[in-house]
Amino acid sequence: AQTVTQSQPEMSVQEAETVTLSCTYDTSESNYYLFWYKQPPSRQMILVIRQEAYKQQNATENRFSVNFQKAAKSFSLKISDSQLGDTAMYFCAFMNRGDDMRFGAGTRLTVKP
């Protein structure tokens, strides 16, 4: 079974600085998707970024980028120029074709002014 591990329960960063959230996963599949979701106090699950496993190029979305290391089964999220609105819980997730989504335990990020 696929598992997703986020080893940092909590992190903090100063406004305007850069922070990296870690995620590792375990799977025997070769084709899959990886995701980072943001959950602000509203509890809504908001897709931040996704990565297709067969694409070597790391995904980027404005201030958010990933470092995808397929062989190491690592998928970290880098947030540049951190903003107060980035304060949230962040979940790493894994999904196969037509299958369920597996989540890590989450990392609570606090951006300090």
Q: By CB under 8 A, name the binding residues for other proteins.
A: 4, 6, 9, 33, 35, 43-45, 47, 50, 52, 91, 93, 95-101, 103-106
In the bound state with other proteins, the residue whose beta carbon lies nearer, of 28 and 97, is 97
Instruction: Report the residue number, 38 or 82, with the smaller CB distance to other proteins.
Output: 38
Q: Which residues pair with 14 in a beta bridge?
A: 112
Nearest CB to other proteins, comparing residues 41 and 113: 41
DSSP readout, 18-73? -EEE--EEE-S-SS-EEEEEEE-TT---EEEEEEETT--SPPEETTEEEEEETTTT
To other proteins, the closest distance from the beta carbon of 84 in angstroms equals 23
* Least Cβ distance, residue 15 to other proteins (angstroms): 26
- Determine the Cα–Cα distance for residues 42 and 50; give it in Å rounded to an integer: 22
Q: Which is nearer to other proteins, 80 or 108 (CB)?
A: 108
| Nearest of 53, 38, 33, 37 to residue 95 by alpha carbon | 33
- Least Cβ distance, residue 45 to other proteins (angstroms): 4
The residue type found at 32 is Y
Q: How far is the CB of 54 from other proteins (least distance, A)?
A: 11
How far is 73 from 11, CA to CA, in rounded Å?
A: 22
